[in-house]
Amino acid sequence: QSVLTQPPSVSAAPGQKVTISCSGSSSNIASNYVSWYQQLPGTAPKLLIYDNNHRPSGIPDRFSGSKSGTSATLDITGLQTGDEADYYCGTWDSSLTTVVFGGGTKLTVL
């Protein structure tokens, strides 16, 4: 059972928008930066969003992140079949003194 809670799966049609939520607590999301990771099938996770809402170089602006209180959100617009992957949120937990990840959300582009 993960410290951060994500929906197990989301789906949407190509070209549409999808939102993936990440719910935590005052000791993690509310007080630390949130990052998001994309894991394509059979590959290592890749940093998608850092410091709540910043994109590393090379990440399209179709991907955006936000945070409010104890929750964070990843939005993906203009969905493409190549976006089918598992998405994880992550942050530091000040009480557990450990990096924590969400359980992951599988995105299906119908």
Residues that bind another protein (CB under 8 A): 2, 33, 35, 37, 43-47, 50-51, 56, 88, 90, 96-104
Judged by beta carbon, residue 18 or residue 49, the one nearer another protein is 49
Kindly state the smallest distance separating residue 3's Cβ from another protein, in Å. Answer: 10
Cα–Cα dist 29/15, whole Å: 30
Structure token digits, residue 47: 């940093």
> Which residue, 3, 8, 14, is CA-closest to 102?
3
Judged by beta carbon, residue 46 or residue 62, the one nearer another protein is 46
Tally Cβ neighbours within 10 Å of residue 69: 11
Answer yes or no: are the C-beta atoms of 52 and 32 closer than 8 Å: no
Judged by beta carbon, residue 56 or residue 69, the one nearer another protein is 56
Kindly state the smallest distance separating residue 109's Cβ from another protein, in Å. Answer: 21
Kindly state the smallest distance separating residue 13's Cβ from another protein, in Å. Answer: 26
Kindly state the smallest distance separating residue 62's Cβ from another protein, in Å. Answer: 19
Judged by beta carbon, residue 26 or residue 98, the one nearer another protein is 98
Task: Name the H helices within 17-90.
Answer: none
> Which residue, 59, 61, 58, 71, is CA-closest to 20?
71
